[in-house]
Amino acid sequence: MFDGSSIRGFQSIHESDMKLLPVPESAYLDPYRKEKTLIIIFSVHNPVDNSAYSRDPRGVVAKAVDFMRAQGIADTAFFAPEAEFYVFDRVRFKTDINTAYHEIDSYEGAWNTGIKEDADGTPNRGYRTRVKGGYFPVSPTDQFADLRDEMVMQLGKVGLLVERSHHEVGTAGQMEINYRFTDILHAGDDVMKFKYVIRNTAWQGGKTATFMPKPLFGDNGSGMHVHQSLWKDGKPLFFGDGYGDLSDMARHYVGGLLKHAPSLLAFTNPTVNSYRRLVPGYEAPVNLVYSARNRSACIRIPITGSNPKAKRIEFRCPDPSSNPYLAFAAMLMAGLDGIINKIEPPLPVDKDLYELTGDEAAAIPQVPGSLDEVLNNLERDHEFLLKGGVFTKDLIETWIEFKRKQEVDYVRLRPHPAEFELYYDI
């Protein structure tokens, strides 16, 4: 039993008792505790009748899979998230009635070319990652190779099969580590493991990791691109003879994602900070179109050759601030709605979308510009989430209310330090 009223968005105090049931196959040894400690996932239930709790995020994914199977569409949804993150040396921040600031430092940061000493106390020897210049540098410019190696080893200990790791575009330690895909439910579990390992490995190394979508002004943000495919009876369903070698089902899945993206982002990009990332010019997927190869589109069709098993779509909008279970379930439900209703996406766009001008640029729909906007969209467009009882009205209403009061208003009502720079002497 646990106190559900102490969990944000769960129960009120007069009905706070909730029940946890273990998921035995989820257990693994915590690699960071001195004493042997088991980490295990639990499902949340009503203690009165033992029914599954409607706001249990992992339970929402399970219901989405049940709905997919009941429709006869597929029996497995494979998801592969790619969560980017930053590792810094120091961070401090404070918000109060008379104070608002944050300060980040990283010895690798482009702003530290002028410091006298490096992290090890030796004289500054140069080699700093330039702003937007961090994609695949080698040592000594990449100062985090050994730390990433340690992260890879620790991820293996908790059951994640790492396929690649590298420094990402951002200065000051942006990174990406990719691991093998799995079914949608266990993909959510793996994101939770991944974030736990990354944070604690950085911490043990004397550094701090963050999955904030946009911690640095003027450099790339951190996304969580999610590769997706549907299978049935051991056979892939997304390979076909259409554009990008997509099947009709895959195209309709894309149509569902694009149609519902303005509301879907309330779960895949659920923070105020998410919309600091989703702006043109930082490799962010701000265009609500799909394309083969084009990374400025919100949906990319990776080039996978003639192997049907590798055919998938990549939804590039999500970021790692999202709850993976709710985000994955919402994406799947949007895609299934596209399949069920045969929603046709707009024609694919293979041009550089950042270079379009005039009427051509105006014709390309853009992602919403704020959390407030996507919450408004979710209020208007959520019927596709309610099908099969996957999401419930109370979950969606609670999500919207919490986000507005605790995040949108929290930020909106506070003067920003940049406002003092602009207006103090006005």
Residue 75 CA to residue 337 CA, distance in Å, equals: 16
By three-state DSSP, how is residue 362 classified?
A: helix
Give the pLDDT score at 9: 62
Domain limits of the chain? 1-53, 54-423
Is 180 an active-site residue? no
Q: What is the mean pLDDT of residues 299-322?
A: 95
- Looking at the chain, the whole-number percentage of residues with pLDDT higher than 70 is 96
- C-alpha separations of 320 from 13, 214, 230, 360 in Å: 30, 11, 23, 32
Question: Is 314 among the catalytic positions?
Answer: yes
Q: At how many degrees (to 10) do helices 371-380 and 248-268 cross?
A: 120
Residue 316 pLDDT > 90: yes
In the three-class reduction of DSSP (H, G, I as helix; E, B as strand; rest coil), residue 137 is classed as coil
At 207-265, the pLDDT tens digits run 999 999 999 999 999 999 999 999 999 999 999 999 999 999 999 999 999 999 999 99
Identified catalytic residue from 56, 89, 176, 319: 176
User: What amino acid occupies position 219?
Assistant: D
What three-state secondary structure class fits 195?
helix
The residue from 314, 319, 337, 372 that is catalytic is 314
- d(CA 80, CA 178) in angstroms, rounded, equals 9
The pLDDT of residue 180 is above 80: yes
pTM over 0.85: yes
pLDDT in tens, 64-112: 999 999 999 999 999 999 999 999 999 999 999 999 999 999 999 999 9
Considering the four listed CATH numbers 3.30.590.10, 3.30.930.10, 1.10.10.10, 3.40.50.1100, the one that applies to the domain covering 54-423 is 3.30.590.10
Backbone angles phi and psi of 356, in degrees to 5: -70, 150
Query: Do 21 and 14 touch, CB atoms closer than 8 A?
Result: no
User: Mean pLDDT for the chain?
Assistant: 93
Q: How far apart are CA 43 and CA 53, in angstroms?
A: 8
Within 313-370, residue ranges assigned H as helices are 324-340, 358-362
41 HSE (CA, 13 A, CB side): 17
Please report, for residues 17, 91, 177, the alpha-carbon distance to residue 206 in angstroms, rounded to integers and kept in the order given: 39, 12, 20
> Predicted confidence band at 61 (pLDDT cuts at 50, 70, 90)?
very high
The one catalytic residue among 128, 260, 316, 382: 316
pLDDT tens-digit profile of 384-407? 999 999 999 999 999 999 999 999
Tell me the CATH number for domain 1-53: 3.10.20.70
- Would you say the CATH fold of 54-423 matches that of 1-53? no
Query: Residues of 183-222 as b/e, b for ≥16 C-beta within 10 angstroms?
Result: bbbbbbbbbbbbbbbbbbbbeeeebbbbbbbbbbeebbbb
Instruction: Dump pLDDT digits (tens) for 145-157.
Output: 999 999 999 999 9
316 is catalytic: yes
Q: Which of 55, 58, 82, 300 is catalytic?
A: 82
User: According to DSSP H, which parts of 158-247 are helical?
Assistant: 184-204
pLDDT value of position 155: 98
* % of the chain beyond a pLDDT of 90: 77
Amino acid of residue 248: D
How far apart, in whole angstroms, are the C-alpha atoms of residue 263 and residue 294? 23
Measured N-to-C along each axis, helices 248-268 and 393-403 cross at an angle, to the nearest 10 degrees, of 50
Residue 176 among the catalytic residues: yes
Q: In the structure, what pLDDT confidence band is assigned to residue 330 with cuts at 50, 70 and 90? A: very high
Q: Which of 55, 58, 84, 300 is catalytic?
A: 84
- pLDDT for the residue 11: 58
30 pLDDT above the threshold of 70:
yes
Given a cut of 70, whether residue 3 has pLDDT beyond it is no
What's the confidence (pLDDT) of residue 118? 81
For 124, other C-beta atoms within 10 Å of its C-beta total 14
- Check if 425 is active-site: no
Query: Does residue 186 have an active-site annotation?
Result: no
Residue 327 has pLDDT above 70, yes or no: yes
Distance between CA atoms of 190 and 180, rounded to whole angstroms?
A: 10
Specify which of 279-293, 311-325, 345-359 reaches the highest per-range mean pLDDT.
311-325
Q: Average pLDDT, stretch 295-304?
A: 89
What end-to-end distance do the CA atoms of the chain give, in Å? 57
**Which region, left, alpha or beta, applies to residue 137 given φ > 0 means left and ψ of -120 to 50 means alpha?**
beta
Q: Which of 56, 168, 189, 283 is catalytic?
A: 168
User: How far is C-alpha 73 from the geometric centre of its chain's CA atoms?
Assistant: 26
Give catalytic status of residue 379 as yes or no. Answer: no
Structure tokens at 139: 């040592």
Which entry of 128, 148, 167, 225 is annotated as an active-site residue? 225
pLDDT band at 5 (very low <50, low <70, confident <90, very high): low
Between the alpha carbon of residue 255 and those of residues 142, 173, 205, the distances in Å are 40, 36, 44
- Which residues have a Cβ under 8 Å from the Cβ of 119 and sit 6 or more positions away? 89, 107, 143
Among residues 396, 390, 397, the alpha carbon closest in space to that of 336 is found at 390
Residue corresponding to tokens 């404070």 = 94
pLDDT digits (tens, 9 = 90+) for 110-161: 999 888 888 788 888 888 889 888 888 888 888 999 999 999 999 999 999 9
CA R_g for the chain: 22
| CA 158 and chain centroid, separation | 21
**Is 252:334 a contact under the CB 8 Å cutoff?**
no
In a 13 Å sphere around the CA of 40, the CA atoms on its Cβ side amount to: 12
| pLDDT for res 296 | 80
